[in-house]
Amino acid sequence: MTEMSFLDHLQELRKRLIVIIIAMFIGMAVAWPMASTVQRFIQKPLREPSLTQKWEYAVTTWATQKFPALKGLGLKPKPPRVTPHKLNYMAPLEPFFVQMKISMITGLALAFPVILYQIWLFFAPALYPQEKKYVYYFIPLGTLAFILGDLFFLNLVWPLIISFSLAYESDILFSMLNLTQFINFCLRLLLLFGVVFELPLILLILARAGIVHLDFLRRNRRVAILLSAVVAAFHADIVTMTAVAIPIYCMYELSILAIRVFGGEQSRTAEEAVVPVAADTPPADL
C-alpha cells in the first residue's frame, strides 16, 4: 500500500481521466464506420419478430403437436409476424447526430477494457500486494459482464419493449417513431444493463477487500428490491419497468451467490467469524 497526498490523488485522477478520454475518442473513431450496422441492429425489432415471439411459436407448436386436445381449448400456434416500420426524422442534421451518439456508445464499449484498467490503476496504490493480483480477473470479467448485459438487453429486453409498444397500433392508431427518441431510449438502457451486469463483480471485489459483508447483503434484500424498482421507475411503461427491475435484482442475488462461493474469509462479518462456545463447556483453569 502506497500513501499519497491529496494533490497526488488529484494528479493521478487527472492522468487517468485523460487516458480514458483518449481511449474513448479512439474507440469512437473505430466505431464510426460501424454506426450504421449498429443502428440496423437496434432497429431490428421494427422489421423482424423478436426472439421471445419465436420461442412462443415454437413452444405452442410443440405443445399442440404433443397434446392435440389443446387445440380444442383455443390454443393454436400463430407464426410471428411484424409489420415493417421505419423511423422518421424532422431536423436536417438529426441522422448525423444520432450516428455520433451511436459511435460514442460503441466506442465506449470498445474502450471499456482500457477504462477498467485505468480505474484499477487509480485505486491500486491503496491496495495491498496480495490484492493487486485481482486485476487479472477484474478487467476480462468486467468487460465480459458489460458485453453480456448489452447482449441480454438487445436480444431479449429491447424486442419485448418494442413489440409491446407496437401492439397498440390499430385502425385508428399508428406509430410515427422518431429516430432520436428511439435511439436515445435504446442507448440509455444499453448503458444501464451494461452497468447492472457489473454489479456481481463489483460487490465480489468489495467483499474480498472486507468492505461489503455477505450477512449485510442478505439482510437488505428488501432494500435491494426497492432500489431496483426505483431505478426502473425512471422508465414510463410498466413493461420496461419490469424488464429493468427484474434483471437488477437478479444481479443482486447473483452477487450474494458469488460472494458466498468466492468471497473468502473477508466477506464474513465479525459475528460470523466468532466460533460459538457451548453453554455447558466448563471454563478453563487459570
Q: What residue spans define the domains of the chain?
A: 6-266
Measured from the Cβ of residue 10, the count of other Cβ atoms closer than 10 Å reads: 11
Grid coordinates representing 169?
A: 397500433
State pLDDT tens for residues 120-174. Answer: 887 777 666 766 677 777 788 888 888 899 999 988 888 888 888 887 888 888 8
State pLDDT tens for residues 167-225. Answer: 788 888 888 889 999 999 999 889 889 888 988 888 887 787 677 888 888 888 899 89
The pTM (predicted TM-score) of the whole model is 0.76
